[in-house]
Structure 1
Amino acid sequence: MSRPSFTRRAPPPLNALRAFEAFARHGGMTPAAAELCVTHGAVSRQVRTLQDSLGVTLVSGPRHRLVLTPAGEALARSLSPAFAAIDDAVDTARAGSHREIEISCLGTFALKWLIPRLPTFLEAHPDIRVKLSESWAAVDFARDRFDGAVRILNLGQTAGRAEATPFLIQYQGPVGAPGIERLSPEAFARLPRLYATTFPESWRVWSELTGVALPPATLTREFAHNHSMIEAAASGMGVAIAPWAFVTPDVMAGRLVAPFGFAERPSQFVFLRPAGRKDVAVDAFRDWLAAEGAASPPPPSHRGPAAD
C-alpha cells in the first residue's frame, strides 16, 4: 500500500517577510525602508506581496497611518526573534573574523565619557569592532537591532525583558564657566539657567534633591541636547545642571567649574542587553563598562550655597 504524498506549500518570499518584519518593528514604512536601504514604495510592495501570498490582511488603515491587524501582530511576534536568530547564526559563522557590535547610547554620555575610554577596550579586544548609535528612547530589543544599550534607570525601575547591568552612579550639580565660583549666592541665583529639552525639570529636581531653595529664574535658555547645553555653560551663557559623567573632563581640565559640587541621584547608568542572548563580544563590552565605571573618579561632593 502506497503512502499518501503531501505537497509542501511554498513559503512566502523571504524579502517580503523581511520587509514586513522591519515595518512592524519600526511602526512605519519610512524607517523600515531606511534600515533595508530601499525605497518606501519597495517596502509597501513587499508587504502587499506578503499579504497576497498568505491570503491574510496584515496591515490596515490609511496609507500614511497603517497599523498591524491582529494577524499581523501575531506574525510579527514570531518573525522578529526568527530574524534575530538568523543574525546570531551569521555572527557565529563569522566568529573567526572581526565581530562588530552596535551599542545604542545617550549622545552626550558617548561623547564625554564613553568615546574617550573606548580605545582601551579596542586595544584589549582587537577582534571586536564597536559601532555607536545615539538615542535616549526606551529600549525594545524585539524592535531594535542593536546588541546593547546605555541608558539611565531610576532605582527600582525595570528594563522589561532586557538584562540590566548598573555600572555608574549618577550625580548632578550646577556647572558654569570659571568665575562663577566667586559669585555670592544671590548673584549666582540671578544667572541664566540652562536646560536641555530632554530634561527640562533639571533645576527643580536638583533643588528637591539637595534642599536648596531657588528663587524664580530671571532668564532660562533651552537647548536640544545636553552637549549643546554644556558648551553654552562653558562659554558663559549661564549655569546648567549636568550629570558628573557628562562634564568630568571639562571640570577636571578647569574649563567648567562646579561651585556647589554634585549630589547623588537615585538613578544609575546601566548597560542593557537582550535577555538570554549569548554573545561573548557583548559580554566583554559589558564587563569592560563595569570595570571603567568602578575606576571612574568620584565627583566633588555637594555643598550648599550658604557655605560659600
Structure 2
Amino acid sequence: MSKLPLTALQGFVLAARTGNLSSAARQLHLTTSALSHQIRGLEERLGRRVFVRGPRGVDLTPDGTRLLDSVGPQFAAIEQALRYFNAPDPDVLTLSVMASVASSWLLPRLPQFAARHPRLQLNLQSSVALVDFDREAVDAAMRFGPGHWPGVRAEHLFDDWLIPIASPGLIARLGRPVLGRLSEWPLLRDPADVWPRWFRTFGGTPPARYVAHFDDTETLHCAAIEGMGVALGRLTMARPLVEAGQLVLLSTRRLRAEYAHYLVYPARSAAHPALLAFRDWLLDEARRYAQVQGQVPMRRRH
C-alpha cells in the first residue's frame, strides 16, 4: 500500500474530532466536497470505512476509532510543538464578541482604548458561537452567559437588566400602559421567555398569547422599534435606542437577567501583553457602566 497522504489523515482527525465534515473543512480552508473526496480516498487506500455518514454529521466506525486512537495523539503532539513557533504578536489582540454587544456597548467606547494604546491593534470577530480556543486563533472573547465555561477563565464585567420598552408610535396609538395591566397590551416574547418572571415579581398575569416570539434579542428590539408590541428589553442593548428616541422605557422597575457579561480567555492568553492592557481598560469601563446602570432614567438625545 502506498503511503497515506498526511493531508487526508489531518482531515480525518479533524472530522473525527468535530463529527462534522463542514466544520473540519472550514478549519482546513477546504470545501466540504474536497474534504469528503480526501476521506473517500483514504478509505479506498485502507480498504475500510472510517466514517458512517448521517444527516447530522459523521460517526466513526470501529476501524475509524482504531485509526483515530493511533494517529490522533501524533497530530496533537505536532500541534503542541508548533504552538511555540506561533506565539502571538504582543501588540495584536484578537477578540471575539457578539455583534449586538459590539455595536451597542463596545464600539462607542473603543476610541478611548485606541487613544490610550495607539500601538495596539484590536482585531474584532463577530460571532455568537462559543470560541474553541484550542482550535481558533482567538485570544479572548466577550460573552453573555452563566459565567461557567470549561477550560477558560471568565471575569465578570457587569450584569444586565430587563425592562419594558415600546416605540413612541405605539404609545401614541395606545397611550402609556399601566404596569399592572401590561398583559392587556400586545407583548413580544423574548428568547428566554422572561415575561412570566416579570409578572410574578411585579404583579399581573401573563397574556394568553404573545403577538410574536423571537429567538434573539436584537430582532426583538427591532420589532419593538417598529411598534409591533412591548418587549422586555436588555438594558445594555436598549440604552442607545432609548437615547436615540427610538424606544421608550415604560418603567423604572427592572429584572436582573439570569446571565451576565464576561471577559473570557484561555490560560495561554493570561500573560499576553495586549490582552492585559485591554483587560485593565475593559474592567474600568465595566465598573463605570455598572454605576450608570443604577441610574435607569434616560433622556432622548437632541
Normalising by structure 1, what TM-score?
0.74
- Aligned counterpart in structure 2 of residue 171 of structure 1, from 146, 154, 161: 161
Q: Do residues 37 (structure 1) and 2 (structure 2) align?
A: no
Q: Structure 2: how far apart are the matches of 1:245 and 1:88?
A: 39
Q: Structure 2: how far apart are the matches of 1:295 and 1:52?
A: 62
Q: Do residues 108 (structure 1) and 100 (structure 2) align?
A: yes
Once the two structures are TM-superposed, the CA of residue 194 in structure 1 deviates from its matched residue by 1.5
- Aligned counterpart in structure 2 of residue 281 of structure 1, from 274, 279, 292: 274
Q: Do residues 194 (structure 1) and 194 (structure 2) align?
A: no
Once the two structures are TM-superposed, the CA of residue 122 in structure 1 deviates from its matched residue by 3.4
Q: Structure 2: how far apart are the matches of 1:284 and 1:50?
A: 47
Instruction: Show the counterpart of 1:6.
Output: none
Instruction: Show the counterpart of 2:285.
Output: 292
Deviations 1:69-105 (A, max 9, x none): 444665557646853763663344xx38x635141x3
Instruction: Show the counterpart of 1:239.
Output: 230
Are the aligned partners of 2:185 and 2:230 in contact in 1 as well (CA < 8 Å)? Answer: yes
Q: Structure 2: how far apart are the matches of 1:59 and 1:51?
A: 7
Instruction: Note the aligned Cα RMSD (angstroms).
Output: 3.6
Instruction: Show the counterpart of 2:300.
Output: none
Query: Which structure 2 segments of 5+ residues have no match?
Result: 298-302
Q: 1:122 to 1:20 in 2, by over 3 A?
A: farther
Instruction: Show the counterpart of 1:254.
Output: 245
Deviations 1:280-301 (A, max 9, x none): 2333333332222112121545
Q: Structure 1: how far apart are the matches of 2:51 and 2:103?
A: 41
How many pairs were matched up? 282
Q: 1:67 to 1:215 in 2, by over 3 A?
A: closer
Q: Structure 2: how far apart are the matches of 1:273 and 1:110?
A: 17
Are the aligned partners of 1:102 and 1:132 in contact in 2 as well (CA < 8 Å)? Answer: yes
Once the two structures are TM-superposed, the CA of residue 207 in structure 1 deviates from its matched residue by 3.4
Q: 1:256 to 1:142 in 2, by over 3 A?
A: same
Once the two structures are TM-superposed, the CA of residue 12 in structure 1 deviates from its matched residue by 6.7
Once the two structures are TM-superposed, the CA of residue 120 in structure 1 deviates from its matched residue by 2.8
Are the aligned partners of 2:13 and 2:68 in contact in 1 as well (CA < 8 Å)? Answer: no
Instruction: Show the counterpart of 1:7.
Output: none
Q: Structure 1: how far apart are the matches of 2:278 and 2:295?
A: 28
Instruction: Show the counterpart of 1:89.
Output: 85
Once the two structures are TM-superposed, the CA of residue 275 in structure 1 deviates from its matched residue by 2.8
Instruction: Show the counterpart of 2:257.
Output: 265
Paired amino acid for 2:216: H
Give matches, 1:56-205, under 5 Å. Answer: 59-62=50-53, 65-68=57-60, 69-71=64-66, 74=69, 75-76=71-72, 79=75, 82-83=78-79, 86=82, 89-92=85-88, 95=89, 99=92, 101-103=94-96, 105-123=97-115, 124-135=117-128, 137-154=129-146, 158-178=148-168, 179=171, 182-185=176-179, 188-196=182-190, 199-205=191-197
Deviations 1:24-55 (A, max 9, x none): 454311233234332223212444566788x6
Paired amino acid for 2:281: W
Q: 1:162 to 1:240 in 2, by over 3 A?
A: same
Q: Structure 2: how far apart are the matches of 1:286 and 1:86?
A: 27
Identity of aligned residues (%): 26
Deviations 1:170-210 (A, max 9, x none): 211111113378323366332221134xx2412224334x3
Q: 1:185 to 1:153 in 2, by over 3 A?
A: closer
Q: Structure 2: how far apart are the matches of 1:108 and 1:215?
A: 28
Q: Structure 2: how far apart are the matches of 1:191 and 1:225?
A: 21
Q: 1:222 to 1:85 in 2, by over 3 A?
A: farther
